[in-house]
A and B are shown apart, each in its own frame.
Chain A
Amino acid sequence: MSTYTENIQQIAQRLLKECRVEMVIGFRKGSMPLMNEPCVITQPEAVNQLVWDSNCGINLTHYLTNRKEKIGIVAKGCDSRNIVTHITENKIQREQLVIIGVPCLGMIDRRKINAMVEGDIQSVSETDDAVTVATRNGEQTFAKMDVLQQNCAVCVHRNPVIHDEMVADPVPEQNGVDQYADVAAIEAMTPDARWRFFDELLAPCIRCYACRNACPLCYCPTCFVDESKPQWVGKSQDPMDVRTFHFLRAYHCAGRCTDCGACERACPVGINMRLLTKKLNKDCLDLYGWEAGLSPDARPALDVYKANDPEDFIK
């Protein structure tokens, strides 16, 4: 992975110099360790800002919505699937894009690391399979596998599904991982237990809408939670309002979510709202054999009709 940064910079510079794109969207070092930030590069001289490591979890597709320019974009597996979804939904044209594909080995969950170290993290370095963090008290090294974001640990689409350039050879996809073990565990509970489980899961929610703002699917000009005529959902922190918000938000992502983890990553109180979106992903896969964003030519599960669509729920 050490050559990724260099290759991204070279490709970005070439694209900008040849005027094939007006801007390149990528990552630069964040002001805090474990948090890289998105950046837009418009000058070939500025490409040395671009970096790549295991802290590039933000989904850059978010920045493509309704753009008119020619854009180069750095995309890992999940980002590329969201780009496909954007193309399918007419939020960007394929011809506008030069996709710089990055085979991804997973992103680090900063919360896991923060929970394991004492004191503030001052710097972070990584090799292919280990992460070393330095605090005032010294250094600690973790196996990267143990500190991956949960969605990365069970990811089966690590390589970009569409790309024009690649920064490295594709990485092997993970076989035999049980993607939906966490959802299945909830399905196995009784309705009462499930109700209590989500009560506890959503209790810390402060309705900041960071999950919505980080999500590349949430591009509506006015979100249903912000509308007041009619007001679809109460704006209070009443547990039912919180639950209604999360329920509806998940539903708006049905058949579109790629489980990129941007929502959970952005949440300031660490709620795993992916347990809702993942349930819908699982249903889409089980009922319609559909996984979002794998091909720009396929129509999404929710906008095609097949004579054999399951309809057990209708009496």
Chain B
Amino acid sequence: MKNLLEHMGIEPDRLHFSWISSAESTKFVSVVREITAKVKALGPNERFVKKEAKVA
């Protein structure tokens, strides 16, 4: 899914997948930190966002 979204032009750092056990609190924190840093660097998402409906 990530591959096809990126093929369509979604930025590679926008979508993240991770597998974290409920016992892996430190991994959870580090993954969230990494993701927020990467997404903040990209800025607000402009893609796959529906703008207001066009009125003729």
In Å, the complex CA distance between A244 and B49 comes to 11
Contact present for B17 and A195 (CB under 8 Å): no
B4-48 toward A: CB 8 Å interface, digit per residue (1/0)?
111111111000111100000000000100100000000000011
CA of A283 to CA of B2 in the docked complex: distance in angstroms?
A: 11
Known pairs A314-B18, A314-B19; A280 contacts B11 (CB<8 A): no
* CB atoms of B4 and A241 under 8 A apart: no
- In contact, A244 and B9 (Cβ under 8 angstroms): no
Q: B4 to A251, Cβ gap below 8 A? A: yes
Chain B residue, CB-CB nearest to A277: B4
A-chain residues with CB within 8 Å of residue B53 when the two chains form the complex: 236, 238
Residue of B5, B9, B48, B49 with highest tally of chain A CB at under 10 A: B9
Q: How many residues of A contact B (CB 8 A)?
A: 28
Distance A315 CA – B19 CA, assembled complex (angstroms): 7
Look across to chain A and name the residue whose beta carbon is closest to the beta carbon of B3: A283
Cα A313 to Cα B4 in complex, Å, equals: 12
Min CB distance A216 to B, Å, is 21
Interface size, B (range): 20 to 34
Q: B17: which A residues are within 8 A, CB to CB? A: 313-315
Task: Write out the residue numbers on chain B whose beta carbons fall within 8 Å of the beta carbon of A314.
Answer: 17-19
CA separation between A192 and B6, bound complex, in Å? 10
Query: Once the chains bind, are B5 and A191 in contact (CB under 8 Å)?
Result: no
The interface residues of chain B lying within 8 Å CB-to-CB of A279 are 3-4, 7
B6 touches A191 (CB 8 A): yes
Q: Is the CB of A191 within 8 A of B19?
A: no
Which residues of A from 181 to 218 have beta carbons under 8 Å from B? 183, 186-187, 191-198
Contacts of A186 in B (CB 8 A): 7
CB A177 to nearest CB in B, in angstroms, measures 21
Other CB < 8 Å A-B pairs besides A186-B7, A276-B8, A314-B17, 12 of them? A191-B6, A191-B9, A194-B6, A195-B10, A198-B8, A234-B50, A241-B50, A243-B8, A247-B4, A313-B2, A313-B17, A315-B18
Q: Which positions in A face B, CB cutoff 8 Å? A: 183, 186-187, 191-198, 234, 236, 238, 240-241, 243-244, 247, 250-251, 276, 279-280, 283, 313-315
Q: Would you give 25 A-B contacts (Cβ < 8 Å), ordered by A?
A: A183-B7, A186-B7, A187-B7, A191-B6, A191-B9, A191-B10, A194-B6, A194-B9, A195-B47, A197-B9, A234-B50, A238-B50, A238-B51, A238-B54, A240-B48, A240-B49, A243-B8, A247-B8, A251-B1, A279-B3, A279-B4, A313-B2, A315-B16, A315-B17, A315-B34
